[in-house]
Amino acid sequence: MTKPIHKELHTPDISQGGNGFAAEYYLEERYKQPRNNGGILKLYYALRRFIPRSLQLALRRQYAKKQMQVAFPRWPIEPILVERTEQDMKSNIEGSSEGRIPVINFWPATFRSAVILTHDVEWDVGVRNIPRVRELERKYGVVSSWNFVAERYPFDKSIFADLEAEGCEIGLHGLYHDGKKFSSRAIFEERLPKINAYLKEWGAVGFRSPATHRNADWMPEIAAEYDSSFPDTDPFEPQSGGCCSIFPFFLGNLVELPITLIQDHTLIEILQEPDITLWKNKSDWIIRNHGLVNIIIHPDYMLSEENLRYYEDFLRFITAKENLWFALPKDVAQWWRNRAKSTVVLTNEGQPVVDGPAKDRGVVAWASLGQKGVEYAINQ
C-alpha cells in the first residue's frame, strides 16, 4: 500500500512566473509588444535573396550590436523563471516540518541535467555533410536528432534508415523553409495537413519550425509529440524573444523542448566569436540549475575544418561533464510527459517513492536549503 504525501512540484513550478504573471505570460511569449524595428526586419528578410552574402552578414553583424542590448528577455541568460522556481521551492521547504521536501528528480535516475544534440538540415549540401558530422559525434560516443525540410531540396530518404541504425532520430523541419507558415492563419491551415502527413510518413514525433518561427496558440495542432522551436532567450532570430525556460513545458498536449544555446551560425558568423565560451558559460549555468542543454548545429555550416572545430570543442567540453543524461529529444519529451503524470508517495514503511508512469526511471530527490540556495540530494 502507498499513500500520497506530496504533490510533485513539477519542476519548474512556475504557475506564477514572476511579478505576479502566470507562467504562460513568459512561456508563450505573451510579454511581447510590437516593436518599431519589426518593419525593418520584415523588409530585410523580404529582400535578403537579392542582397550579396557578404553584405547580408555585414548588416546582420551591425544590427546584432543593437539586438543584444534588449532589456527583456536578457541575453545570453534570462533567469526570471529559474529565480522564481527557486523562491517557490524555498518557501515550500521553509514551510515543511522536516526542513526538506521530497520531489521527483528532474531527470531519470540520478542525472543532474539533460543534453540533446540537434541538427537542422537546411539544404542538400547539409545532407551531403551528414557523414562528416556524424563521424565527429561517433568519436565522442553521442547520438543526435536530424531535422529535414520536406520539400525544399531533394534527398535520398535512405539516409533516415542509416541515421536510425546508428541510434539517431529523424524530425521534420517544415515544408519549404520560406518563413510563411505562421504568417497567417490561412497559410497555417493550408500547410498543416501536409506537415502532419510527413510526420506520419517519416515515423517522426518531433518538429522544429524553420527559422524558429512559432505561435504558441497554433503549435498544439501539429501532430507531433514534441516541438523544439522556442529559444529560452534569443534576440538574433527573425522572431526574437524567448520562453524564458530552460526546462521542457507543455503547449496543450505538445511537449516543448526549448533551445537553450545560441545557434551555431549566430555564434560563428554573426557574433564572430573566436571560441565557444558563450556555449560553455551558458551550459554551466543550465547544468547548475538542472535544466536542458539543447544545441542546434547545422551541417550546412560545418563545411570547413574551422567551423567544425567549434562543434568538436563543444562535444569535448560537454562529454567531459559527469552525470549528464545524453538523450534523444523524443526520449526527453516522453520522460517529461511521464514525470508530469507522476507523484511522490509513502510506502507502508514510510519511504517516499515515485508513483506513476515515471516510477521505473524516476527517483526521489530531497530538496533542502544549503549555503547556495536550494540543494537536491537523491533519496537520502
In angstroms, the CA 257 to CA 11 distance is: 14
CA atoms within 13 Å, Cβ hemisphere of 123: 5
Cell readout for 235 is: 534576440
Contact 189, 217 (CB under 8 A): no
In angstroms, the CA 249 to CA 197 distance is: 25
Report helix angle 158-165 to 130-139, nearest 10: 0
Residue 184 buriedness (CB in 10 A; 0-12 / 13-18 / 19+): exposed
Q: What pTM was computed for the model?
A: 0.92
pLDDT of 184: 93
Contact 9, 15 (CB under 8 A): no
CA atoms within 13 Å, Cβ hemisphere of 380: 7
Domain boundaries defined on the chain: 38-67
DSSP string, 210-252: GGG---TTTGGGSS-SEE---BSSBSSSSS-B----SS-EEET
pLDDT of 14: 42
3-state SS class at 26:
helix
pLDDT of 233: 98
3-state SS class at 159:
helix
Look up residue 379 and give its amino acid.
N
pLDDT of 59: 84
Residue stretches of the chain with pLDDT short of 50: 1-2, 6-18, 35-37
Cell readout for 97 is: 516540518
- Taking only the tens place, the pLDDT of each residue in 225-274 is 999 999 999 999 999 999 999 999 999 999 999 999 999 999 999 999 99
